[in-house]
Amino acid sequence: MKPIVSIKNVSVNLNNQNILHNISFDIEIGKIITILGPNGAGKSTLVKLILDFFKPTTGKISRKKNLSIGYVPQTLQVDKTLPLTVKRFMKLNKKFDDNEIVKMLQKVNAISLMNKTMHQLSGGEMQRVLLAQALIKKPELLILDEPTQGVDVNGQITLYNLISNAKNEFNCAVVMISHDLHLVMAKTDEVICLNKHICCSGTPALVSNDPEFIALFGRNAANQLAIYKHHHFHQKRFQGRIHLPNFGAK
Ligand SMILES: Nc1ncnc2c1ncn2[C@@H]1O[C@H](COP(=O)(O)OP(=O)(O)OP(=O)(O)O)[C@@H](O)[C@H]1O
């Protein structure tokens, strides 16, 4: 299958600093890619490149024509004085009818939040609403930047299940940054271990045995990765289009 995004020999220099070096990988429909790496490894920078927020210093990123992307940021700061309800938030970028909004909020277990204001939401509730907002436009590519920051363990499990279900239902590709090795890996097709360059990549089982991964994260993390097996899902085709939301990356 032809990739929807192809990243070839990409490097990024900012203020004479080498932030990313010689990155190459493809993003394909139906696959979940998880990007792991220590603080400052360039994970968010890589996500911003995929989102086309800026261009690489060298190398090339090719995207499928009119690629539709849904983006879930780490969190969203909402002004407490702004009485923005969840329902109005869902209508910010494009007008969806109430029926579509209700259906999408139901999918992410957030229907009871529809008339709450955004600043009233807990961490887990906020992430489910952000996911709904990204999915309502039916993306071909869903990008999540540490979607479970500040979310408790049950909330994390719920969120990863929702992401995996969404991938199957919308037949999209998923790229996410995550530190939740033990939870996220059961759902991941490919792990990219980043530390300015790609240290190693492959299935969780493969990466967990890679000496570079073990050197970077330690044996304990490798064991957490290793216990999971790679799964394939059957997908239903879904026709649709999404446009990038207006809120920025971190
Ligand atoms: N505009 C910029 N100018 C110079 N350096 C930058 C700029 N933006 C990011 N950096 C640097 O690039 C490096 C990678 O940052 P990035 O946010 O991509 O890392 P990360 O892997 O997402 O880190 P974290 O896990 O802490 O969120 C960091 O050293 C950061 O200081």
Q: What are the tens digits of pLDDT across the range 27-57?
A: 999 999 999 988 899 999 999 999 999 999 9
pTM comes to: 0.85
Which ipTM value was assigned to this complex?
A: 0.96
Q: Beta 197-202 vs 173-177: how paired, if at all? A: unpaired
Q: Which pLDDT band holds residue 215 (cuts at 50, 70, 90)?
A: confident
Indicate whether 19 pLDDT > 90.
yes
- Tell me the best of 16, 20, 45 to mutate to test the pocket of ligand 1, counting ligand atoms within 8 Å of each CB and taking the most: 45
- Does residue 220 line the site of ligand 1, with CB under 6 A? no
Going from the Cα of 149 to the center of ligand 1, the distance in angstroms, rounded, reads 17
Query: What share of the chain in percent tops pLDDT 70?
Result: 88
Q: Which comes out higher in pLDDT, residue 80 or 23?
A: 23
Listed range (16-20, 74-78, 114-118, 154-158) with the worst mean pLDDT: 74-78
Does ligand 1 lie within 6 Å of residue 156's CB atom? no
Residue spans of alpha helices (H) in 31-146 = 43-50, 86-90, 98-107, 123-135
| 212 close to 200: Cβ distance less than 8 angstroms | yes
Burial class (CB in 10 A: 0-12, 13-18, 19+), 200: buried
pLDDT at 30: 94
Confidence at residue 244, expressed as pLDDT on a 0 to 100 scale: 37
**What separation in angstroms does the CA of 139 have from each of 68, 107, 143?**
5, 15, 10
pLDDT digits (tens, 9 = 90+) for 64-79: 999 999 999 887 887 7
Which among 16-25, 177-186, 202-211 has the top mean pLDDT? 16-25
pLDDT score at 21: 96
Give yes or no for residue 234 having a pLDDT over 50.
no
Looking at the DSSP bridge assignments, the partners of residue 34 are: 176, 191
Residue nearest to ligand 1 atom 5, measured at CA: 14
Q: Residue 85 burial (CB < 10 Å; 0-12/13-18/19+)?
A: middle
Which atom of ligand 1 is closest in space to residue 250's alpha carbon? 17
- How much is the pLDDT for 227? 53
pLDDT of residue 65: 94
User: If you average pLDDT over residues 89-111, what whole number do you get?
Assistant: 88
* Distance from C-alpha of 144 to C-alpha of 14, rounded to nearest angstrom: 23
Pairing of strands 17-27, 5-14: antiparallel
pLDDT in tens, 128-152: 999 999 999 899 999 999 888 778 8
